[in-house]
Amino acid sequence: MSGFPEASFMLSAAAGAQFPADRGVEVAFAGRSNAGKSSAINAITARHGLARTSKTPGRTRLLNFFSLGPDRRIVDLPGYGFATGPREERAQWAPLIDALRPRESLKGLFLVVDCRRGIAASDLELIDWADPSRRKIHVLLSKADKLTRAEGLKAEAAAVAALGGRASVQLFSALRRIGIEDAQERLQGWIEAGDPRAVK
């Protein structure tokens, strides 16, 4: 497993009408601002700089779609710490993710959570939004290099407890390359599971 060599930027959407056709398989990446989401996307796809687009001024409030191959996509959600902030920012964010929610192709969510912060109320809200009864949810406890092994295991156990079975969890570090293969395999599994060509 060496990532997703075909990964490439598709488009930035400011409204549901601009989303790509609702076909195939899509996996969302979300997290509070600064959680390490862009670094995680770059590390998992092994396309360094891929998610830089999402940091381009003017695009940070948009939904950024990346192609992983024909009808296979990552959708990068805006960092949501700000969603509880200025009303106009929230007003822009909410309709966008409301438009994403009903998509048939949206099969799963990777939620990036700073391992030192743990699962916050806003993370649980996003999990509810994704609807764990319909979709797979996987939490990356990011920046695991900031913790000792013992602290990391403790953070993982706390996250498992906070999530109450709604999501799987793993420790992750883009910087020290912890858990990247596990994350790649999971993403690949979801992408293939949703691919009718993979069903024999």
* % helix, strand, coil for the chain, step of 5: 40, 25, 35
Pair 136, 54: CB distance under 8 Å: no
Cβ contacts of 199 within 8 Å, gap of 6 or more: none
Could you give the CA distance from residue 19 to residue 50 in angstroms, rounded to a whole number? Answer: 19
- The answer to whether 45 contacts ligand GDP (rule: CB under 6 A) is no
- The answer to whether 60 contacts ligand GDP (rule: CB under 6 A) is no
Shortest reach from residue 78's CB to ligand GDP, in Å = 10
Cβ contacts of 3 within 8 Å, gap of 6 or more: 44, 45, 46, 47, 184
- The answer to whether 63 contacts ligand GDP (rule: CB under 6 A) is no
Residues in region 89-128 near ligand GDP by CB under 6 A = none
Stretch that binds ligand GDP, among 2-10, 120-128, 137-145, 154-162 (CB under 6 A): 137-145
Shortest reach from residue 24's CB to ligand GDP, in Å = 25
Query: Structure tokens of 200?
Result: 């024999």
**Adjacent-strand bridge partners of 173:** 178
For ligand GDP, which residue of 24, 36, 78, 152 counts as binding (CB under 6 A)? 36
Shortest reach from residue 112's CB to ligand GDP, in Å = 6
Q: What is the DSSP letter of 78?
A: P
Stretch that binds ligand GDP, among 7-15, 143-151, 160-168, 191-199 (CB under 6 A): 143-151
Per rule CB under 6 A, count of chain residues that contact ligand GDP: 16
- The answer to whether 53 contacts ligand GDP (rule: CB under 6 A) is no
Q: Which of 37, 136 has the CB closer to ligand GDP? A: 37
Pair 139, 155: CB distance under 8 Å: no
- The answer to whether 152 contacts ligand GDP (rule: CB under 6 A) is no
**Adjacent-strand bridge partners of 140:** 112, 170
State the residues that interact with ligand GDP by CB under 6 A: 31, 33-39, 79, 142-143, 145-146, 173-175
